[in-house]
Structure formats: structure tokens, C-alpha cells
Amino acid sequence: MDRAPLAWIAEHPFAYPLIEVVHLAGIAAMLGSLLLVELRTWGVGAALPARPLARFALPVTLAGFALAAASGLLLFATRPAELLASNTFVIKMTLLMLAGLNAAAFHSRGSLERGDGVARAQTLASVALWLAVIGAGRWIAYA
């Protein structure tokens, strides 16, 4: 059986755990900044103007996502065949795609400015999807 090109990372005593920490830090930065904007959509922190808050949070969200994606690709590269055969991994990637589509829909309809019922539903979907992505990611280790 062919070894994955970066299989050594999984066998290294520090590399894999450090990449996991970076992955989790990226997720934390992304989800934390998203939650601030989503809470604002629900009226929490109404004294803070939504648009400037979103402009402040967006770079943190994008940097967190980039960190999580880059580290996730490294983790994936340690055992791609095994992960692609895992239903849990496929579910995680599907949930990740749905979370991205939800974010695109939120921004394309101007939900931040509208702050209506649809915007609030989109924020609930966002939180649920990202928590499901995290849960599926953790579940991969046990599946």
C-alpha cells in the first residue's frame, strides 16, 4: 500500500498535535468572530453599529478560516485515502460546504443590514452548521 506523502506528520511526536492546535485555534478565531456578528444580528450589543462590527470581524473570520483550512489540508494529507473512505469525513466536508453557502447567502441578500427573521434564521443555521462541522471533525477520530 502506498504511503501518503505527508504520513510522517501523523507519526511525528509533535508535528500532528501542533497542527491540530493550529487547526483548533483557526476554528476558534473564525467561530468567535462570527458569533459576535451573529449576536449583533439578534440585537445583542445594539449600541454597536452592525457594519463597523462586521468590518472589524471579517478579517479575523477570514484569517481563522484560512488557518483552519491550511492546517486541515495538512492533517488530511497525512491519510487522504482513509479520510475519503470515512463517512464522517464526507459529512464534515458537506456541512462545511453548507456553512459556506449559508454565509454567501447571508452576505448576498444583505442580511446584516436587514436584521430580519431570515437573517436571524441564517445566523442560527450558521451556528448549528459550524458546531456540526466541529462535532463531525472530532467524531472522525472515533469513526
What confidence tens digit (pLDDT) does each residue in 44-58 have?
A: 999 999 999 999 999
- Cα–Cα distance, 93 to 123 (Å, whole number): 20
* pLDDT value for 135: 97
Question: Of 133 and 4, which is predicted with more confidence?
Answer: 133
Give Cβ neighbours of residue 10 (< 8 Å, ≥ 6 apart). 16, 78, 79
Q: Which of 105, 113, 128, 122 is nearest to 54 (CA)?
A: 113
User: pLDDT confidence of 120, banded at 50, 70, 90?
Assistant: very high
pTM: 0.90
- Cα–Cα distance, 93 to 61 (Å, whole number): 19
- Cα–Cα distance, 98 to 90 (Å, whole number): 12
Cell output for 59 = 478579517
Residue 91 has pLDDT above 60, yes or no: yes
Burial annotation 31-44 (CB, 10 A radius, 16+ → b, else e): bebbbbbbebbeee
26 and 68 Cβ atoms separated by less than 8 Å: yes
